[in-house]
Copies of this chain bind each other. A is one copy, B any other.
Amino acid sequence: MSQWKITEKTIHKADLFEVKEQTITGKNKTKKYQIVQRRPTVLVFPLTSSNEIYLLSQYRTLFDKIILEAVAGHVDPGENPLKAAKRELKEEAGISARQWEELLRVESSASVVRSNMHLFLAKGLEEGESNLGGEEEDEEIVVIKMSLSEAINKIVNREIVDGPTIIGLLFLDKLRREKKL
């Protein structure tokens, strides 16, 4: 498909990402770019039979504030995305689900950052206890249930700003309007 030959080497390693240098070689020229490779992530949208959704309110050091976002986490090495989604839903929200569907696979960006995300719909919910004791991030996670409509309103008024969370909610809203939920 491409006239370019691409090689990559890791030039910086962090716990949750690597910086790689891409060398792009074409007929007459060579270019170098630095990119970020993240580990794959999953997002889970647990929906009740009355179209209520569970979200998390969580302090994030990245923004030094509390963010309203979907249940999410990294896929562990050797783990498949569905298993990671089930694990995160149980750990973060204390919820098990009988029905699972992968809604979308999304890249967080078309350039610079390579970060593959799997978005799951979870139905047939069973509430339990979450496994978090404030260990995971640096403050407690609060599980919040609201109607899908209310969540959509929070996108419009910019209370929800996390891109992957917005994608899942808007996609569910579309399915609901089409009576496909």
Give A contacts to B, CB under 8 Å. Answer: 1-4, 6, 12, 14-17, 19, 22, 24, 26, 31, 33-36, 38, 58-67, 69, 72, 104-115, 117, 138-139, 152, 155, 158, 161-167, 170-171, 173-174, 177
Cα–Cα distance between A71 and B1 once the two chains are bound (Å): 22
The interface residues of chain B lying within 8 Å CB-to-CB of A117 are 163
Q: Is the CB of B6 within 8 A of A33?
A: no
The smallest beta-carbon distance between A106 and chain B, in angstroms, is 5
Residue ID in chain B nearest A34 by CB atoms: B14
Task: Give chain A's interface secondary structure class.
Answer: mixed
Copies in the complex: 2
How distant is A8 from chain B, measured CB to nearest CB, in Å? 10
Are the CB atoms of A14 and B6 closer together than 8 Å?
Answer: no
Q: Is the CB of B61 within 8 A of A114?
A: no
Residues in chain B near residue A174, CB distance under 8 A: 152, 170, 173-174
Docked Cα-Cα span, A170 to B164, in Å, equals 12
Give bound CA distance, A30 to B112, whole Å.
30
For the complex, what is the distance from the CA of A171 to the CA of B158, rounded to whole Å? 13
Q: Are A61 and B139 in contact (CB under 8 A)?
A: no
Given the complex, which residues of B lie within 8 Å of A115, measured CB to CB? Answer: 108-109, 113
Q: What chain B residues lie within 8 Å of A64 (beta carbons)? A: 1-2, 4, 6
Please measure, in the bound complex, the distance between the C-alpha atom of A14 and the C-alpha atom of B110, giving whole angstroms.
17
Query: Nearest Cβ in chain B — how far from A14, in angstroms?
Result: 4
A114 to B117, CA, bound (A): 16
Q: When the two chains form their complex, are residues B155 and A104 in contact, meaning their CB atoms are under 8 A apart?
A: yes
- Nearest B-chain residue to A41, judged by Cβ: B109
In the complex, residue of chain B having the shortest beta-carbon distance to the beta carbon of A113: B113
